[in-house]
A and B are shown apart, each in its own frame.
Chain A
């Protein structure tokens, strides 16, 4: 489904070049929930942004459904992005738009007929149990509700892939559980492939099929979480597991 092939990304900073992503190769299968975990600055968010080319890798290829995204024209790339949902740590809702209008946004961008929008939007809101908030503005919502609106917005175009950038890091433990529950449900009901970036082992352990542990821009180890007791090899992975609750 998603194949990242030898991705490299270096930033120029005041203290010299910083290798954010260092020769990362990962294969993510259709329908799985794949996690990237690591300390902040490990390069996981940068890597996630390489999938929809919000970050353009310096070298390497991004294959989605067999198509090399790094070779696409800008216009084509924008079209492909319409089929990849994304949610963020700080929700990134349009503050001056209602819940309904926020969820409508990707459909507007995709140019879907206005008459066809309503049903899709309501269905999306129903999935995250927020139908009654249709006319509310984001400022009136709790953090968890905001993230649920963001999820509804991300899935309204029926994407095959959902990218999650620290989706629970700004939420309390209880709300985190609820958001993870919705992600899991979306994955199972709609078969959407989910890529989850997080620094919380708990989140990864709870819903991921596989997890790549990242450090210094590299994938140190990839663990299979469906095994009853995954056996981490690297020091970092062991540390993350011992401190199971999070970093």
Chain B
């Protein structure tokens, strides 16, 4: 137990870095991914604003970015990262590839959740004279809100895992800590302790996400 107590400050720091990466990444993914996902939904063939050609291009783009293994993406976007944050090393620098990876993921999840919204309710809104903007805010997001929270929760959990790769470019975080102290320094106790912490973190995120999603859902 002594070793863990000794490393406590580093563990706390690593946790802080992980939270920092997650919060900024998810905020950017939400800010860009929700509009992108909504737009994809709207321009789908057969949907409200159908624009089949733009859809084809955007759809493919989303698929391409999502196909990249995160490690490859991390390296591939280094020039862009350097351009945006001035450096390709460190926690802030990792946020760039994390966000690039998370945005199309979130967009796709949002598109799927919106597709589950009952077409009849949308038709009702159209019959009431609602414009597209009103349909999005007053119907689509209202009906899809619990699914959107579930998607965000899912994304959050996957990106805890992605953020562990950040260590490669000096990004820090709890996963990086586990590798450096637990694996490279042959301290299995530290490794186990860190993994347990990560499991607890995922549990907490999942529980909060589920409870919020459930509270927003009035269909059951």
Partner-B contacts on A (CB < 8 A): 52, 54, 77-82, 84, 86, 88, 90, 92-97, 105-106, 108-110, 137-139, 163
Residues of chain A contacted by B217 (CB below 8 angstroms): 96
- Docked-complex contact A109 and B134, CB < 8 angstroms: yes
Highest count of chain A CB atoms <10 Å: which of B124, B134, B139: B124
- Docked-complex contact B121 and A94, CB < 8 angstroms: yes
Contacts A92-B118, A94-B142, A105-B138; is A81 near B124 (CB within 8 Å)?
no
Contact residue among A81, A88, A105, A138 (Cβ-Cβ distance under 8 Å from B120):
A88
C-alpha gap A78/B139 in the complex (Å): 16
**Does B9 count as interface, using CB distance less than 8 angstroms?**
no
C-alpha gap A52/B123 in the complex (Å): 11
Residues of chain A contacted by B67 (CB below 8 angstroms): none
Residues of chain A contacted by B123 (CB below 8 angstroms): 54, 88, 92
- Docked-complex contact B143 and A86, CB < 8 angstroms: no
Q: Could you list 23 examples of A-B contacts with CB < 8 Å?
A: A54-B126, A77-B129, A78-B131, A79-B129, A80-B129, A81-B128, A82-B128, A84-B127, A88-B120, A88-B123, A90-B120, A94-B143, A95-B143, A95-B218, A96-B143, A96-B146, A96-B217, A96-B219, A109-B125, A109-B138, A138-B218, A139-B218, A139-B220
**Does B145 count as interface, using CB distance less than 8 angstroms?**
yes
Residues of chain A contacted by B134 (CB below 8 angstroms): 108-109
Q: Which residue of B lies closest to A80 (CB)?
A: B129
C-alpha gap A105/B124 in the complex (Å): 10
**Does B154 count as interface, using CB distance less than 8 angstroms?**
no
Partner-A contacts on B (CB < 8 A): 118, 120-121, 123-131, 134, 138-139, 142-143, 145-146, 216-220
Contacts A88-B120, A88-B124, A139-B218; is A96 near B129 (CB within 8 Å)?
no
C-alpha gap A154/B187 in the complex (Å): 69
Contact residue among B126, B128, B146, B218 (Cβ-Cβ distance under 8 Å from A105):
B128
C-alpha gap A123/B139 in the complex (Å): 24
B139 CB to closest chain A CB (Å) equals 6
- Docked-complex contact A108 and B138, CB < 8 angstroms: yes
C-alpha gap A161/B95 in the complex (Å): 55
Q: Which residue of B lies closest to A93 (CB)?
A: B121
A213 CB to closest chain B CB (Å) equals 25
B87 CB to closest chain A CB (Å) equals 45
Residues of chain B contacted by A139 (CB below 8 angstroms): 218-220
A59 CB to closest chain B CB (Å) equals 22
C-alpha gap A79/B125 in the complex (Å): 13
B52 CB to closest chain A CB (Å) equals 14
Residues of chain A contacted by B216 (CB below 8 angstroms): 96
Residues of chain A contacted by B220 (CB below 8 angstroms): 139
C-alpha gap A95/B216 in the complex (Å): 11
A167 CB to closest chain B CB (Å) equals 13
C-alpha gap A97/B218 in the complex (Å): 8
Q: Which residue of A lies closest to B143 (CB)?
A: A96
Residues of chain B contacted by A137 (CB below 8 angstroms): 218
Residues of chain B contacted by A96 (CB below 8 angstroms): 142-143, 145-146, 216-219
C-alpha gap A163/B129 in the complex (Å): 14
C-alpha gap A84/B126 in the complex (Å): 11
- Docked-complex contact B124 and A109, CB < 8 angstroms: no
- Docked-complex contact B139 and A94, CB < 8 angstroms: yes
A175 CB to closest chain B CB (Å) equals 19
- Docked-complex contact A109 and B129, CB < 8 angstroms: yes
Q: Which residue of B lies closest to A95 (CB)?
A: B219
C-alpha gap A96/B126 in the complex (Å): 18
- Docked-complex contact B219 and A109, CB < 8 angstroms: no
Highest count of chain B CB atoms <10 Å: which of A80, A86, A88, A94: A94
Q: Which residue of A lies closest to B220 (CB)?
A: A139
Contacts A108-B138, A109-B134, A139-B220; is A82 near B129 (CB within 8 Å)?
yes
Residues of chain B contacted by A79 (CB below 8 angstroms): 129
C-alpha gap A77/B126 in the complex (Å): 11
C-alpha gap A139/B217 in the complex (Å): 11
